[in-house]
Amino acid sequence: MNRLPILTLSHISKRFAAQEVLSDFHLTINDGEFFTILGPSGCGKTTVLRLIAGFEQPNEGKILLNGEDIAGIPAEKRPVNTVFQSYALFPHLSVFDNVAFGLKMAEVDAQNIAVRVADALAIVRLSDFATRKPHQLSGGQKQRVAIARAVVNRPKILLLDESLSALDHKLRQQMQLELKQLQRQLGITFVYVTHDQEEALSMSDRILVMHNGQAQQVGTPREIYEAPRNLFVAQFIGEINVFDGEITRALGEYQYQAMINGVERDIRCDHRFAAGDRVHVMLRPEDLRIDCRPNVLERKGFPGVVLERNYTGQTLNSHIRLENGQAVTVHEFFDEDDPDFDYSINQKVGVDWVPGWEHVIPAERSGQA
């Protein structure tokens, strides 16, 4: 889908006292997309949100909304609304008055307010709760009121600050689905901040991964998961096995031979390398295969020993220690034709992958023997 940028942050830096939270930070968010800022706590993601909302001012840089610099506009006048992590519902006001608050501030007439609040409450399926007070609501209901209170103002951008983190697992999954549907239905740009990578992958059109105040990678969930640009992104999003290797020679365009754990292998990648370059060869647990043929000569891949195997229902997750001491994780789906599919602890196996499934990046740390 081709979308136009609605919000641009350029050259943003933000310091609190002596601590630099963001430095020379750039970000472009497109109109109508579900954009997620993902990172561990303290990475600066909430600061980005607060800069967009207007609760913080950048020390340097520009924030453009539809091409207009909004740096000087106070939070109360920006056409963006926030769903707070703690919901921040006004405890002395009814659900109706909470949702109507923004419209009253905008001096919408009473009749219109009644209609729009009713609509917003219908969208979040809380029509029967208009007269309740926040303390009479469950966590999920409070969450919905907070969303209704924000979207009723028809903001250009809706900011969500770890909005689902206070809910229990099941409710959170349900709300993830609802949020995504809501976003599609309203067509409003959502900027969602979270530290939960699963949540980010399942809801977003695009994800920004942040670490230590730096943008690490921007891309679709698929790009982020399948082609992480660096070790941090690879390890933060899902599980990954990293093999350290060294390029021995080029075989053709984007095809190389590399020495990995003492074994020569062909690898494919979209970087350019020269012989002698150190690389990380990365494989998701579900991309690895275990060869458990009893004859050691027939077995393919890196030899190792089964340390542990966990049955999860969908997959069998095995932890293997390779001969060089490296631990790898392998997730395999059950083969319905083989009811006895399982390994025994200490069983000798080989760990292998289908050529081309690996993802290779230049080495960031010195290789281990």
Partner 1 sequence: MKVLNFRRVAIVLTLVWLGLFVLVPHVLVVLTSVMSPDPQHLAVWPVTLASWERLFEPVYAEVFWRSLWLSTLTTAICLVLGYPFAYIVAKLPGVWRGVLLFLMIVPFWTNSLIRTYAIKLILGNKGLVNAALLGAGLVDEPLQLLYTPFAVVFGLVYVLLPFMVLPLVSSFDKLDGTLLEAARDLGAAFWARFRLIIVPLTMPGIIAGSLMVFLPAMGMFYVADLLGGAKNLLLGNIIKNQFLVVRDWPFGAAFSVALIVIMAGLLWLYFLANQRINRQGGLDDEGL
Site residues (CB under 8 A) for partner 1? Answer: 53-55, 74-77, 80-82, 84, 86, 88-92, 101-102, 105-106, 133-135, 149-150, 153
Rounded Cα distance between 170 and 105, Å, is 36
Q: What is the DSSP string of 245-294?
A: EEEEEEEETTEEEEEETTEEEEEE-SS---TT-EEEEEE-GGGEEEE--S
Minimum distance of partner 1 from residue 291's CB (angstroms): 54
CB-nearer residue toward partner 1: 150 or 282? 150
> CB of 117 within 8 A of CB of 186?
no
Taking alpha carbons only, the member of 359, 288, 340, 348 closest to residue 323 is 348
Backbone angles phi, psi at 102, to 5 degrees: -65, -40
Distance (Å) of CA 336 to CA 238, 253, 287, 332, 340:
26, 39, 19, 12, 10
Minimum distance of partner 1 from residue 156's CB (angstroms): 13
CB-nearer residue toward partner 1: 121 or 247? 121
CB-nearer residue toward partner 1: 46 or 261? 46
CB-nearer residue toward partner 1: 75 or 177? 75
Minimum distance of partner 1 from residue 102's CB (angstroms): 4
Amino acid letter for position 56 = E
Amino acid letter for position 124 = V
Minimum distance of partner 1 from residue 166's CB (angstroms): 10
CB-nearer residue toward partner 1: 44 or 102? 102
CB-nearer residue toward partner 1: 52 or 247? 52
> CB of 284 within 8 A of CB of 240?
yes
CB-nearer residue toward partner 1: 157 or 322? 157
Minimum distance of partner 1 from residue 53's CB (angstroms): 6
Minimum distance of partner 1 from residue 189's CB (angstroms): 16
CB-nearer residue toward partner 1: 112 or 235? 112
Minimum distance of partner 1 from residue 124's CB (angstroms): 16
> CB of 349 within 8 A of CB of 289?
no
Minimum distance of partner 1 from residue 146's CB (angstroms): 9
Minimum distance of partner 1 from residue 267's CB (angstroms): 50
Q: Which residues of 322-357 are buried (b: 16+ CB within 10 A; e: fewer)?
A: beeebebbbbbeeeeeeeeeebeeebebbbbbeeee
Kindly give, in sequence order, each residue whose CB lies less than 8 Å from that of residue 336, ignoring residues fewer than 6 positions away: none
Rounded Cα distance between 7 and 37, Å, is 14
Rounded Cα distance between 255 and 352, Å, is 18
Q: What is the DSSP string of 89-154?
A: --TTS-HHHHHHHHHHHTT--HHHHHHHHHHHHHHTT-GGGTT--GGGS-HHHHHHHHHHHHHTT-
CB-nearer residue toward partner 1: 90 or 311? 90
CB-nearer residue toward partner 1: 106 or 327? 106
Taking alpha carbons only, the member of 319, 316, 369 closest to residue 345 is 319
Minimum distance of partner 1 from residue 126's CB (angstroms): 17
